Amino acid sequence: MSSSVLVVGAGLIGTSIGLALRGDRDVLLQDPSQEHLSTAQARGAGRPWTGEQVGLVIVAAPPARVASLVGEHQRSQDRAFFTHVASIQSRVQHDIEAAGCDQTSLCGGHPLAGRETAGPAAAAADLFEGRPWVLCPTASTREEALAAVQALVTSCGANGVVMTAEDHDRAVALVSHLPQVAASAVAARLVGSPDAVAVSGPGLQDTTRIAASDPALWTDILVGNARFVGPLVRDLAADLARLSGALAQVTDQATGEMAAGRAGIADLLRRGQSGRGLVPVKRGDHDSDFTRVAVSVPDAPGQLAGVFVCAADAGVNIEDVRVEHLPGRPTGVLELLVHLTEREALQQALTAAGFAVIRTA
Amino acid sequence: MSSSVLVVGAGLIGTSIGLALRGDRDVLLQDPSQEHLSTAQARGAGRPWTGEQVGLVIVAAPPARVASLVGEHQRSQDRAFFTHVASIQSRVQHDIEAAGCDQTSLCGGHPLAGRETAGPAAAAADLFEGRPWVLCPTASTREEALAAVQALVTSCGANGVVMTAEDHDRAVALVSHLPQVAASAVAARLVGSPDAVAVSGPGLQDTTRIAASDPALWTDILVGNARFVGPLVRDLAADLARLSGALAQVTDQATGEMAAGRAGIADLLRRGQSGRGLVPVKRGDHDSDFTRVAVSVPDAPGQLAGVFVCAADAGVNIEDVRVEHLPGRPTGVLELLVHLTEREALQQALTAAGFAVIRTA
């Protein structure tokens, strides 16, 4: 088997794969856009494909184009394996079957490293570093095809996770598409209420951040995965309708339904807290292993640096950082996530350096 | 008018007010808990009240206790003004009326600086720095009473925002209580799906962060503001039910409703993007004035510091920071928010210092 690869589509993902494989594999590039091809080549992602036989073809094109590109290259490649990087797997797999492609040499995949920014200029050699990369072999996929794609994933520094196309689409519907929908729906309610937004805090900031994403791109994603996103959105709507019923019960104290309403509200909040506990904070650790130390920082160049230098000198590893902005003031509060065992050391070091530790939680 | 104040309730807010006023006013403290009182006094928030007449009484107790405490102190204070810090205003105002308190000397308020952590030990002198502090005078409130509370707000470093109790409760329902509900509802859907969470990214992290909040505390808040939160949750549920209908339309391509479904999906996403545009990033500036520079950072003490020192040396002010964790890997991606005009300088400085700038957006 040749170790050369052909990347079909020199966009963000294709070019990043080329950059990640540099020095490791002979990477050939193809793209209908001469500009994309030149940019990718100039960045060192590979050289233009001129009909060479390769060991692996990676179709990094929009989902709707994948099946026809796989078919096209299967006709000219004699011994290659095939993969793609579609963000939705079931529909692409269906298209590939319908197009009559050879499925024994193919294993679909999806690196979970997407960004809002597109194109080869935004590509990066370490885009996949430490990220999950889902692999979706079918019953027809030969073991060697799966192994070839797994080797690619490893070379890119990602972690291969094998699941069926259906399981993949169901998972991303839950952990990526549903949060997008919720963020957009909450943010949509802010339209026309700038006065209320003026008294908002960091909770609103975080909860609506991804609502800034490109609506056109996300319309495509939601349409493409409507089969799995639809029922989740319906269930979320039902949970919220139930909650609004519970809130109506506690509003009308005369009906004696106060206790039932209260229980309904508490139930959703408790389930939410449990669900949040599943979300990894760092290296699979969960919230309870860590603590937050908040420090007041004047908003001027060098002040943030001082806090981090201070932590570094004390040998404390900052696991996460959040800046809490103070509207209208040139100061902010920096929240540092550290392991419980390091809280004491960090607090002492910061205080000794003259920083105001506001609280620990 | 005496410049002395009596803080009734030495919890997080009351003690923080005492600390903020230190050196500026004579602060007297009262609390049924001797432990809270001692802690607050030891931290320098004030001295125990022994029946002195004061100029301003600040009731910093749970909403359900406010009216009776106001009444109690109005009986012994001859010339004082009164305020409270309840997170929900209408109900407290109603209680105060029902209890027959004097309303001419009273103006309710709410500093938007709440934290999960409670108690005097978590208090901080700069808790209110730059934060909005809503003031809710009624038709009965005398001008001098509003002025006395406004002077308190200014002394605490906060920004006074005058609105009616109803407007306040409606605003926090939208910008604080609704995001909490949405975060909890999304996180609740994760229960039982740890495999799916394993392929999640930063979007899920941000969107569900506040779902970790205390369910008991939030049940009280939602029950207390059910009148305004209820309709918002009902409307959010309706938006999501409509979206799930649109997703059903695009799933069944045979019905010819594809275009209508697509339009419905795009509409919610676009409205969400508009709403998000209202959320201030910093000093009233909005997303479009800023850009994000992402840099790869090994997860070891001192590495984060290096990035900030580098930015400081280049005179670049980091407006916001986000750490994107790479599950299972000892590296992370640091996203730095800087003003558009400083992007170039930051990129050059980081690259010169040997840091890998992954992308700018």
**Lowest mean pLDDT across A274-283, B218-227, B311-320:** A274-283
Give the closest-approach CA distance of A290 to chain B in angstroms: 13
Confidence of residue A300 (pLDDT cuts 50, 70, 90): low
Q: What was the pLDDT predicted at A1? A: 43
Considering chain B, what is the average pLDDT of its residues? 88
Query: Which one-letter amino acid corresponds to residue B26?
Result: D
Give the closest-approach CA distance of B309 to chain A in angstroms: 5
pLDDT average, residue stretch B92-114: 93
Radius of gyration of chain B (CA): 25
Query: Which one-letter amino acid corresponds to residue A359?
Result: R
Query: Which one-letter amino acid corresponds to residue A244?
Result: S
Closest CA to A223 of B154, B258, B42: B258
Q: Are A206 and B206 contacting, i.e. CB atoms less than 8 angstroms apart?
A: yes
Query: What's the helix, strand, coil split of chain A in %, to 5?
Result: 50, 15, 30
User: What is the DSSP pairing of strand A5-8 with strand A56-59?
Assistant: parallel
Residues 6+ apart with CB under 8 A from B242: B264, B268
- Cβ separation A328–B171 shorter than 8 A: no
Confidence of residue B284 (pLDDT cuts 50, 70, 90): very low
pLDDT (tens digit, 9 = 90+) per residue, A93-103? 999 999 999 99
Q: What was the pLDDT predicted at A327? A: 52
Give the closest-approach CA distance of A30 to chain B in angstroms: 23
Where do we find the tokens 């209420």? A193
- Cβ separation A200–B175 shorter than 8 A: yes
**Lowest mean pLDDT across A22-31, A278-287, B97-106, B308-317:** A278-287
Q: What was the pLDDT predicted at B219? A: 93
Q: What was the pLDDT predicted at A98? A: 96
Q: What was the pLDDT predicted at A301? A: 66
Where do we find the tokens 């899920």? B204
Closest CA to B145 of B201, B96, B216: B96
Q: Are B62 and B8 contacting, i.e. CB atoms less than 8 angstroms apart?
A: no
User: For testing the chain A interface, which of B153, B161, B175, B293 should be mutated: the one with the most A CBs within 10 Å?
Assistant: B175
Q: Is A339 helix (H, G, I), strand (E, B) or coil?
A: strand
- Cβ separation B283–A203 shorter than 8 A: no
Q: Which of A130, A262, A322 sits opposite B327 (nearest CB)?
A: A130
In chain B, the domains with their CATH numbers are 5-163 (3.40.50.720), 194-276 (no CATH), 287-360 (3.30.70.260)
pLDDT (tens digit, 9 = 90+) per residue, B205-260? 889 988 988 898 889 889 999 999 999 999 999 999 999 999 999 987 667 788 89
Closest CA to A206 of A307, A335, A317: A335
User: For testing the chain B interface, which of A134, A304, A316, A336 should be mutated: the one with the most B CBs within 10 Å?
Assistant: A304
Question: Is residue B186 scored above 80 in pLDDT?
Answer: yes
Q: What was the pLDDT predicted at B328? A: 52
Q: What was the pLDDT predicted at A328? A: 52
Q: In the numeric block, which tokens belong to residue B207? A: 């969107």
HEC-encoded secondary structure of A52-89: CCCCEEEECCCHHHHHHHHHHHHHHCCCCEEEECCCCC
Q: Are A132 and B327 contacting, i.e. CB atoms less than 8 angstroms apart?
A: yes
- Cβ separation B190–A124 shorter than 8 A: no
Q: In the numeric block, which tokens belong to residue A236? A: 């979320």
Question: Is residue B312 scored above 90 in pLDDT?
Answer: no
Q: Which of A126, A189, A282 sits opposite B296 (nearest CB)?
A: A126
Q: What was the pLDDT predicted at A217? A: 81
pLDDT cut 70: percent of chain B above it: 91
Report the Cα–Cα distance between both ends of chain A, in Å, rounded: 56
Closest CA to A57 of A35, A39, A82, A90: A82
- Cβ separation B132–A159 shorter than 8 A: no
Residues 6+ apart with CB under 8 A from A261: A245, A246, A247, A248, A249, A250, B223, B226
Highest mean pLDDT among A276-290, A329-343, B18-32, B194-208: B18-32
Question: Is residue B283 scored above 50 in pLDDT?
Answer: no
Q: What was the pLDDT predicted at B230? A: 97
Question: Is residue A280 scored above 60 in pLDDT?
Answer: yes
Q: Is B57 helix (H, G, I), strand (E, B) or coil?
A: strand
Q: What ranges make up the beta strands (E) of chain A?
A: 5-8, 27-30, 47-48, 56-59, 81-84, 108-111, 132-136, 159-162, 290-298, 320-325, 331-339, 356-360
- Cβ separation B312–A329 shorter than 8 A: no
Where do we find the tokens 């309708």? A241
Residue B317 DSSP symbol = P
ipTM attached to this prediction: 0.78
Q: Are B140 and B59 contacting, i.e. CB atoms less than 8 angstroms apart?
A: no
User: For testing the chain B interface, which of A110, A207, A217, A357 should be mutated: the one with the most B CBs within 10 Å?
Assistant: A207
Confidence of residue A284 (pLDDT cuts 50, 70, 90): very low
Instruction: Calculate ∠ Cα B293-B295-B301, nearest 5°.
Output: 135
**Lowest mean pLDDT across A31-35, B139-143, B298-302:** B298-302
Q: What was the pLDDT predicted at B356? A: 80
pLDDT cut 70: percent of chain A above it: 91
Q: Give A122-135 as a DSSP string.
A: G--TTTTTT-EEEE
Distance CA B36, CA B42 (A): 10
- Determine phi and psi for A131, rounding to 5 degrees: -85, 150
Radius of gyration of chain A (CA): 25
pLDDT (tens digit, 9 = 90+) per residue, A127-141? 888 888 999 999 999
Distance CA A108, CA A135 (A): 6
- Compute, in degrees rounded to 10, the torsion defined by CA atoms B339, B345, B346, B352: 170
Q: What was the pLDDT predicted at A127? A: 84
User: Looking at beta carbons, which residues of chain A come within 8 Å of B272?
Assistant: 183-188, 208, 211, 215
pLDDT (tens digit, 9 = 90+) per residue, B124-168? 888 888 888 999 999 999 999 999 999 999 999 999 999 999 999
Distance CA B163, CA A200 (A): 15
pLDDT (tens digit, 9 = 90+) per residue, A12-30? 899 999 999 998 999 999 9
Question: Is residue B313 scored above 80 in pLDDT?
Answer: yes
